[in-house]
């Protein structure tokens, strides 16, 4: 019998959910299961996202759900199936498992097989067996059967030591009517709410560490995220755009493909500087960004903006400056990282796979024309005066008329940023921005 989690070959006999045995992956529903009367809506969204995530794997797959557990399988290597399921937001745990008939003999054989493999991988392990009996017709209680299985494993595996409190390996047996599941590896899933269950948002995506993490956190609270990136074009090179594109592509591994809007802000930045923005330049630019982003978001039926601000991280991220930025937005500005420390953000960026991209050098538009000292308390009256001099609404209209839309694809395997950059340089799928 193939061993869960170690197979590099297609899962044998698992091409149908009705086959009596084979490999599969158990997905434990997270927060969705705590929902009340509208739980079915969340579950529906979760399963839709799961199917979308599985649809470009190398072979056919199947999905079956019972209560708070979804089981997936197919003619796909188990590792591939497991890795893909772990990118779907909304499952607490992901467990590669062996699917066997619900008989004492078949379950015992699977447990011995699992423990044999675990011991071969890590000699000297302790173990425990936990049995959940969903089919009450099974002739033993869960506790009794766990004892029997433990004793048989000790007998067959030279007295392998049991540790019920802190075992190195916990074999989990779930007994259903016809089929039972035996697993011994419980991998953390991306808990949270299914993408799309909270609506849509537009994330302001720079090439830095923070905004990709913020966008991902927004996804984990159920928002489906599109992205907008502002470049300093025509005064900066396209490095920041390449990075933002590669970041968006990485982030789209966690949701059905979000679009990326690209806005060339350079000329408008220069006009702000010429209008005397001076120490207000950075906040004035940020206000222009959220004005433009709000208009774009409304056209795309998004209900909020998302930024990577963290309180006090830099001068432009004080409460006063955030308030000045919010005043220019016509949609709520969500800041999922407000209370995060930089190191926490970087650690999360590493685990998401965005850190290697963010660390690359670029010419971010915010550095263009940045004054030597940025005010920590931009006065609203002065900001408004500068904006009036410029007819700011006309500038927003001009920016909107030149927006490009890119569609960063979801990839089965993460690719390096340079490949993202190469793709972006020849990106053929630009579309005119939809009108209001």
Peptide bond into 130 cis (omega under 30): no
Beta bridge partners of 258: none
Cβ neighbours of residue 225 under 8 Å, at least 6 residues apart? 195, 200, 201, 202, 203, 215, 218, 219, 251, 255, 258, 306
Q: Are 205 and 215 in contact (CB under 8 A)?
A: yes
Query: From the CB of 237, what's the least distance to ligand ATP, in Å?
Result: 13
Considering beta carbons, is residue 26 or 247 the nearer one to ligand ATP? 247
Tokens of 324: 């000045």
Question: Residue 167, SS3?
Answer: coil
Say whether 286 counts as a known binding-site residue: yes
Say whether 202 counts as a known binding-site residue: no
Residues numbered 22 to 51 that lie near ligand ATP (CB under 6 A) are none
- For residues 398 and 107, give the distance between their C-alpha atoms in angstroms, rounded to a whole number: 67
- For residues 199 and 219, give the distance between their C-alpha atoms in angstroms, rounded to a whole number: 10
Q: Is 365 in the site for ligand ATP (CB under 6 A)?
A: yes
> What secondary structure letter does DSSP report for 46?
H
> What secondary structure letter does DSSP report for 318?
S
Query: From the CB of 309, what's the least distance to ligand ATP, in Å?
Result: 5
The runs of H, that is alpha helices, within 300-336 are 319-328
> Directed axis angle between helix 104-121 and helix 142-156, to 10°?
50
Number of residues that bind ligand ATP (CB under 6 A): 19
Query: From the CB of 364, what's the least distance to ligand ATP, in Å?
Result: 5
Tokens of 79: 């590792």
Nearest residue to 302 via CA among 246, 424, 218, 241: 218
Q: Compute CA distances 190 → 54, 143, 172, whole Å.
A: 16, 30, 21
Q: Single out the residue of 45, 185, 217, 229 in contact with ligand ATP (rule: CB under 6 A).
A: 229
Query: From the CB of 201, what's the least distance to ligand ATP, in Å?
Result: 12
Query: From the CB of 203, what's the least distance to ligand ATP, in Å?
Result: 7
Considering beta carbons, is residue 1 or 233 the nearer one to ligand ATP? 233
Considering beta carbons, is residue 69 or 383 the nearer one to ligand ATP? 383
Considering beta carbons, is residue 100 or 204 the nearer one to ligand ATP? 204
The stretch near ligand ATP (CB under 6 A) out of 6-14, 128-136, 159-167, 359-367 is 359-367
Q: Are 265 and 399 in contact (CB under 8 A)?
A: yes
Query: From the CB of 205, what's the least distance to ligand ATP, in Å?
Result: 5
Say whether 21 counts as a known binding-site residue: no
- For the purposes of burial, counting CB atoms within 10 Å of the CB of 224, is it exposed (0-12), middle (13-18) or buried (19 or more)? buried
Residues numbered 48 to 107 that lie near ligand ATP (CB under 6 A) are none
Considering beta carbons, is residue 47 or 248 the nearer one to ligand ATP? 248
The stretch near ligand ATP (CB under 6 A) out of 117-125, 250-258, 363-371, 383-391 is 363-371
Say whether 229 counts as a known binding-site residue: yes
Query: From the CB of 206, what's the least distance to ligand ATP, in Å?
Result: 3
Tokens of 309: 């601000």
Q: Is 250 in the site for ligand ATP (CB under 6 A)?
A: no
Residues numbered 199 to 228 that lie near ligand ATP (CB under 6 A) are 204-206, 208-211
Phi, psi values for residue 128, rounded to 5°: -145, 155
Residue of minimal CB distance from ligand ATP? 208
Say whether 317 counts as a known binding-site residue: yes
Residues numbered 298 to 357 that lie near ligand ATP (CB under 6 A) are 307-309, 313-314, 316-317
Residues binding ligand ATP (CB under 6 A): 204-206, 208-211, 229-230, 307-309, 313-314, 316-317, 364-366
| Binding-site annotation: residue ranges for ATP | 204-205, 229-230, 286, 308, 317
């Amino acid at each position: 019998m193939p061993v869960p989690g170690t197979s590099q070959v297609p899962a044998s006999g698992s091409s149908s959910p009705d086959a009596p045995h084979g490999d599969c992956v158990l997905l434990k529903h997270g927060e969705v299961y705590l929902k009340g009367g509208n739980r079915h809506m969340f579950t529906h969204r979760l399963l839709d996202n799961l199917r979308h995530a599985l649809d470009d794997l190398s072979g056919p797959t199947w999905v079956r759900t019972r209560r708070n557990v979804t089981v997936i399988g197919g003619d796909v290597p188990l590792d591939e199936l497991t890795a893909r399921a772990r990118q779907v937001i909304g499952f607490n745990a992901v467990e590669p498992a062996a699917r066997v008939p619900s008989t004492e003999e078949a379950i015992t054989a699977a447990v011995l097989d699992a423990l044999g493999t675990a011991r071969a991988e890590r000699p000297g392990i302790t173990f425990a067996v936990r049995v959940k009996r969903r089919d009450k017709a099974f002739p033993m209680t869960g506790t009794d059967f766990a004892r029997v299985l433990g004793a048989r494993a000790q007998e067959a595996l030279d007295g392998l030591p049991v540790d019920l409190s802190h075992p190195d390996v916990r074999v989990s047996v779930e007994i259903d009517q016809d089929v039972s599941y035996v697993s011994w590896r419980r991998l953390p899933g991306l808990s949270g709410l299914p993408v799309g269950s909270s609506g849509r948002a537009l994330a302001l995506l720079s090439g830095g560490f923070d905004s990709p993490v913020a966008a991902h956190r927004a996804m984990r609270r159920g928002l489906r995220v599109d992205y907008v990136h502002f470049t300093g074009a025509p005064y900066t090179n396209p490095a920041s755009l390449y990075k933002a594109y590669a970041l968006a592509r990485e982030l789209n591994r966690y949701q059905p493909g979000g679009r990326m809007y690209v806005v060339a802000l350079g000329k408008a930045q220069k006009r702000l500087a010429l209008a005397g923005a001076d120490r207000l330049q950075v906040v004035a630019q940020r206000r222009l960004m959220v004005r433009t982003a709000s208009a774009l978001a409304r056209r795309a039926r998004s209900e909020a903006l998302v930024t990577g601000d963290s309180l006090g991280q830099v001068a432009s991220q004080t409460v006063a400056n955030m308030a000045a930025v919010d005043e220019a937005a016509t949609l709520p500005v969500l800041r999922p990282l407000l209370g995060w420390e930089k190191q926490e953000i970087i650690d999360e960026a590493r685990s998401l796979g965005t850190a290697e991209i963010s660390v690359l050098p670029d010419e971010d538009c915010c550095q263009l024309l940045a004054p030597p000292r940025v005010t920590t308390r931009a006065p609203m009256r002065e900001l408004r005066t500068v904006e009036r001099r410029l007819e700011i609404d006309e500038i927003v209209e001009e920016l909107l008329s030149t927006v490009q839309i890119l569609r960063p694809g979801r990839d089965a395997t993460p690719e390096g940023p340079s490949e993202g950059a190469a793709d972006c340089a020849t990106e053929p799928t630009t579309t005119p921005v939809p009108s209001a």
